[in-house]
C-alpha cells in the first residue's frame, strides 16, 4: 500500500466482496459510503447497496462509522486517523471523522485487486482469457491502524503557464486523494495568464487569459511557437472543482500571485502598472519586471479579486504568492518612493512587506489565513501568515526563522519537491526546466528541517509538491512529471518518519499496476517509454 500505513497486522480470516454486497454506514459516513459504492460499482458491475448501520449480512459487508474515540486509533490529535479491520464478519472502518473514514476507504481500495481501480469491469469474451472483475473478490484478513504525519499534504498545479481544463483538475483530485493528499494548491495567475473569472474586472479573462504565443523549446533558445494559448475557469468551473475536491476531503487553496508575477492583469488593466504602458500577456518564461503599482486603488483591486475568489473557495487558506517581485519599477517610480517615505520605510524594497500586510489584513477580516512564498518573510510577514518555503538554498534558515517568528510553515523546497525538474539528466528525458529530481530523491526528503529548535516542530504543518508548467503543456505530460514522484511524496507527507528506499521500491513497483488500471501516464522507474521520451517540442541543444 502507498502511502504506507502506521501499522498493518495480517489476521487469519478475511472476507469476500461480491455482487449484491452492502456498504453500511452511519449518518456521518453516508457520503463516503456512497462514493465507495459508486467506485466499486463502476469497476465491477456489481450491484452495491447502501444501508444504515445495521444493514447487510455480516460476511462481505463493508461497515463505515465515525466514532469520537475509536479504540486502537494511533495517538495524536489527528481527526484523519482511521482503523480498518477485515475479518470473517466483513470490512469495518472506524475513524474520529468522515475524513478518517474516507482514508480508510482509500486503503481498502488498495487492498483490493488493482483491477478494481478501473472505470469499468474487464469482462472478456468466453475463453478469451481476460479475467472478469465481476467474480467475487477475496480481501485478506488484516488490522490496520493509521493516521497522517502532517496535516498539510499538498499538491500544487500551475494552471497559469499552461491552462489545464477542469477535467484534468478533477482527475488530479482523484489521484491525489487516493494517495491521501489533502490540499490542492492552484496557481491561478501569473505573468503568462490569468485563469479565473472575476465579475468586477472582466478584462482579466477577456485579455489576461490569452497570450499570443509561448516559447518553443527551452526559453533560453529565444524562439516563439507562434501559437496562441489560454483559457480560464468560470465561477461555476471553480465551484465544481471545490465541491468535487471537498467530497474527497481535499481543500482547494487558490493562489493569486501578487505584487509581482502580475503582467497578465497589467496587460488587461494598464492602470495597475507603474508605467501606464500597454503590455501584452507575457510570451516568455521567467520573471517580468513589470509589477503592480501600490496605489490605494490597486490594493483595492487585489482585495476585490480575492473577495470574489474567497466566495467560491470556502477553505481557510488563501495564497497571495509574493515570490520574485523585482523592485526596479518601484525604485524608478516617484509615487512608490513617496509612499515608502510616507510609511517611514527605508526604501521601496520594503514596500512588498507593507503591501502583503494590507492584503492579508483584508483576508483575516474575512476569517481567512494568508499563505505566501518564502519572500513574504522579507521585512516581516503579515501576522498569522503561513510561509511556504520554496527556495532550496536557504530553505532551512527560512523555515527556522519563520517558525521562530511564530508562523506556520509548509516545506516545499525546489530541491526535493519541484516536479517540473526532470527525473534524471538522461538525454531521453522530455524537455524540462532543468535536471533533476529522482523518485528516490523525493522519497529521501525530510520536511522537518535539521536544527529546528525544540518546541517549534508543531509549526511545520506539512509539505507540498509543486508542478510548475512552463515545460508541461498537456495533462499527459503533467501525469508523467507527477507520477510516480507523487507516490513517493505521499509517504513523506503521510507515513511515519522512518522510510527506507529498498523497502519502498518493491511496493512502488507493485503500485504501478494500480496506476496502470487508473490509466496514469507515469514514468517507469527505468526511464521514459519510447512514447514518453521527448513528448513535445524540440529539445534544446546542450546539457540541461
Ligand atoms: C520559481 S517557486 C517560481 C515559479 C517558477 C518556478 C520554476 C516560485 C514561488 N516561483 O514562478 O515557475 O520557479 O521552477
Q: Is the CB of 437 under 6 A from ligand 1?
A: no
pLDDT at 131: 52
What φ, ψ does residue 239 adopt, rounded to 5°? -65, -40
Sequence length of the chain is 544
Residues 421 and 491 in one domain: yes
Q: Is the CB of 191 under 6 A from ligand 1?
A: no
Cα-Cα end-to-end distance for the chain: 35
Domain annotation covers residue 125: no
Domain annotation covers residue 126: no
Q: Does 491 qualify as catalytic in the annotation?
A: no
Residues 374 and 439 in one domain: yes
Residues 526 and 406 in one domain: yes
User: Are 51 and 126 spatial neighbours (Cβ–Cβ below 8 Å)?
Assistant: no
3-state secondary structure 427-483: CCCCCCCCECCCHHHHHCCCCCCCCCCCCCHHHEEEEEEECCCCCCCCHHHHHHHHC
Cell numbers found for residue 467: 508542478
Residues 96 and 165 in one domain: no
Distance 424 CA to ligand 1 centre (A): 19
What φ, ψ does residue 230 adopt, rounded to 5°? 170, -170
Read off the CATH number of the domain in which 252 is found.
3.20.20.80
Domain annotation covers residue 131: no
Domain of residue 457 covers 152-537
> Of 80, 94, 190, 414, which residue is the catalytic one?
190
Using the atom order of ligand 1, give the atom closest to the CA of residue 434: 14
State the Cα–Cα distance between residues 328 and 35, nearest whole angstrom: 52
Q: Is the CB of 416 under 6 A from ligand 1?
A: no
What φ, ψ does residue 146 adopt, rounded to 5°? -155, 155
| Rg of the chain taking only CA atoms, in angstroms | 24
Residue nearest to atom 9 of ligand 1 (CA): 323
Contacts of 544 (CB under 8 A, 6+ apart): 422, 425, 429, 432, 434, 435, 436
- Strands 223-224 and 215-216 turn out to be antiparallel
Residues 409 and 487 in one domain: yes
Cis peptide preceding 436, ω within 30 of 0: yes
Q: DSSP of 345-380, one letter per residue?
A: -SSGGGHHHHHHHHHHHHHHHTT-EEEEEGGGGTT-
> What string of pLDDT tens digits covers the 544 residues of the chain?
999 999 999 999 999 999 999 999 999 999 999 999 999 999 999 999 999 999 998 888 999 999 987 555 555 558 999 999 999 999 999 999 999 999 999 999 999 999 999 999 986 555 555 555 578 999 999 999 999 999 999 999 999 999 999 999 999 999 999 999 999 999 999 999 999 999 999 999 999 999 999 999 898 889 999 999 999 999 999 999 999 999 999 999 999 999 999 999 999 999 999 999 999 999 999 999 999 999 999 999 999 999 999 999 999 999 999 999 999 999 999 999 999 999 999 999 999 999 999 999 999 999 999 999 999 999 999 999 999 999 999 999 999 999 999 999 999 999 999 999 999 988 889 999 999 999 999 999 999 999 999 999 999 999 999 999 999 999 999 999 999 999 999 999 999 999 999 999 999 999 999 999 999 999 999 999 988 886 444 444 433 3
Distance 139 CA to ligand 1 centre (A): 44
Distance 468 CA to ligand 1 centre (A): 7
Distance 299 CA to ligand 1 centre (A): 23
Residues 19 and 68 in one domain: yes
Read off the CATH number of the domain in which 93 is found.
3.30.379.10
Q: Does 190 qualify as catalytic in the annotation?
A: yes
Distance 346 CA to ligand 1 centre (A): 28
> Of 94, 145, 324, 420, which residue is the catalytic one?
324
User: Are 136 and 130 spatial neighbours (Cβ–Cβ below 8 Å)?
Assistant: no
Domain annotation covers residue 405: yes
Domain annotation covers residue 383: yes
Cis peptide preceding 372, ω within 30 of 0: no
Cis peptide preceding 259, ω within 30 of 0: yes
User: Are 80 and 103 spatial neighbours (Cβ–Cβ below 8 Å)?
Assistant: yes
Residues 286 and 166 in one domain: yes
Domain annotation covers residue 1: no
Domain annotation covers residue 253: yes
The total number of structural domains in the chain stands at 2
Residues 82 and 220 in one domain: no
Residue nearest to atom 6 of ligand 1 (CA): 468
Residues 172 and 239 in one domain: yes
Q: How many CA atoms lie within 13 A of 259 on its CB side?
A: 33
Using the atom order of ligand 1, give the atom closest to the CA of residue 261: 11
Q: Is the CB of 408 under 6 A from ligand 1?
A: no
> Any idea what DSSP says for residue 538?
P
Residues 243 and 351 in one domain: yes
Residues 54 and 176 in one domain: no
Q: Is the CB of 418 under 6 A from ligand 1?
A: yes
Residues 73 and 160 in one domain: no
State the Cα–Cα distance between residues 271 and 276, nearest whole angstrom: 6
Q: DSSP of 300-352, one letter per residue?
A: HHHHHHHHHHHHH--SSEEE----S---HHHHH-HHHHHHHHHTT-SSGGGHH
Ligand 1 mutation target, pool 261, 323, 418, most atoms within 8 A of CB? 323
7 three-state secondary structure: strand
Using the atom order of ligand 1, give the atom closest to the CA of residue 466: 2
Inter-CA distances, 27 with 67, 86, 107, Å: 11, 22, 21
Q: Does 324 qualify as catalytic in the annotation?
A: yes
pLDDT at 243: 98
User: Are 264 and 212 spatial neighbours (Cβ–Cβ below 8 Å)?
Assistant: no
Q: Is the CB of 420 under 6 A from ligand 1?
A: yes
Domain annotation covers residue 127: no
Looking at 146, 163, 188, which one is the last position of a domain?
146
- Strands 229-230 and 210-211 turn out to be antiparallel
Looking at 146, 163, 185, which one is the last position of a domain?
146
Amino acid at each position: 500500500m502507498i502511502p504506507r500505513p502506521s501499522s498493518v497486522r495480517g489476521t487469519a480470516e478475511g472476507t469476500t466482496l461480491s455482487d449484491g454486497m452492502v456498504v453500511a454506514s452511519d449518518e456521518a459516513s453516508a457520503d463516503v459510503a456512497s462514493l465507495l459504492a459508486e467506485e466499486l460499482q463502476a469497476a465491477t458491475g456489481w450491484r452495491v447497496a447502501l444501508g444504515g448501520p445495521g444493514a447487510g449480512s455480516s460476511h462481505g459487508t463493508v461497515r463505515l462509522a465515525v466514532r469520537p474515540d475509536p479504540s486502537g486509533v494511533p495517538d495524536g490529535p489527528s481527526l484523519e486517523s482511521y482503523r480498518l479491520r477485515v475479518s470473517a464478519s466483513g470490512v469495518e472502518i472506524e475513524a474520529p471523522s468522515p475524513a478518517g473514514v474516507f482514508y480508510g476507504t482509500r486503503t481498502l481500495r488498495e487492498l483490493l485487486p488493482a483491477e478494481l481501480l478501473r472505470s469499468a469491469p474487464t469482462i472478456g469474451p468466453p475463453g478469451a482469457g481476460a479475467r472478469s472483475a465481476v467474480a467475487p473478490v477475496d480481501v485478506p484478513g488484516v488490522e490496520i491502524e493509521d493516521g497522517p504525519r502532517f496535516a498539510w499534504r499538498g499538491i500544487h498545479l500551475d494552471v497559469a503557464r499552461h491552462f489545464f481544463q477542469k477535467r484534468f483538475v478533477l482527475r488530479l483530485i482523484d489521484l491525489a486523494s487516493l494517495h491521501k493528499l489533502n490540499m490542492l494548491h492552484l496557481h491561478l495567475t501569473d505573468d503568462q495568464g490569468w485563469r479565473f473569472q472575476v465579475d468586477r474586472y472582466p478584462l482579466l479573462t477577456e485579455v489576461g487569459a490569452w497570450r499570443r504565443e509561448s516559447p518553443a523549446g527551452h526559453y533560453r533558445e529565444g524562439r516563439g511557437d507562434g501559437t496562441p494559448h489560454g483559457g480560464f475557469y468560470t465561477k461555476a468551473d471553480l465551484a465544481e472543482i471545490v465541491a468535487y475536491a471537498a467530497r474527497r476531503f481535499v481543500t482547494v487553496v487558490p493562489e493569486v500571485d501578487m505584487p509581482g508575477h502580475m503582467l497578465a492583469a497589467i496587460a488587461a488593466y494598464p492602470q495597475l502598472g507603474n508605467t501606464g504602458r500597454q503590455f501584452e500577456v507575457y510570451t516568455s518564461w521567467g520573471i517580468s519586471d513589470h509589477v503592480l503599482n501600490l496605489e490605494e486603488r490597486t490594493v483595492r483591486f487585489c482585495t476585490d479579486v480575492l473577495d470574489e475568489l474567497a466566495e467560491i473557495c470556502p477553505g481557510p487558506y488563501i495564497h497571495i504568492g509574493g515570490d520574485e517581485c523585482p523592485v526596479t519599477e518601484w525604485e524608478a517610480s516617484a509615487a512608490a518612493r513617496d509612499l515608502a517615505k510616507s510609511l517611514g520605510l527605508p526604501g521601496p524594497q520594503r514596500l512588498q512587506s507593507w503591501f502583503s500586510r494590507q492584503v492579508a489584513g483584508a483576508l483575516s477580516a474575512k476569517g481567512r489565513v494568508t499563505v505566501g512564498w518564502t519572500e513574504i518573510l522579507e521585512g516581516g510577514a503579515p501576522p498569522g501568515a503561513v510561509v511556504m518555503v520554496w527556495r532550496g538554498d536557504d530553505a532551512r534558515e527560512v523555515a527556522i526563522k519563520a517558525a521562530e517568528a511564530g508562523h506556520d510553515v509548509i516545506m516545499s523546497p525546489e530541491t526535493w519537491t519541484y516536479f517540473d525538474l526532470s527525473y534524471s539528466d538522461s538525454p531521453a528525458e522530455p524537455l524540462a526546466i532543468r535536471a533533476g529530481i529522482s523518485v528516490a530523491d523525493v522519497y529521501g526528503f525530510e520536511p522537518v528541517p535539521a536544527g529546528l529548535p525544540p518546541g517549534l516542530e508543531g509549526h511545520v504543518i506539512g509539505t507540498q509538491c509543486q508542478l510548475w508548467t512552463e515545460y508541461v503543456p498537456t495533462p499527459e505530460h503533467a501525469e508523467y512529471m507527477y507520477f510516480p514522484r507523487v507516490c513517493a511524496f505521499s509517504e513523506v507527507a503521510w507515513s511515519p518518519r522512518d522510510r527506507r528506499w529498498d523497502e519502498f521500491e518493491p511496493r512502488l513497483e507493485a503500485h504501478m499496476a494500480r496506476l496502470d488500471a487508473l490509466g496514469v501516464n507515469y514514468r517507469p522507474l527505468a526511464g521514459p517509454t519510447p512514447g514518453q521520451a521527448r513528448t513535445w517540442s524540440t529539445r534544446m541543444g546542450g546539457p540541461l
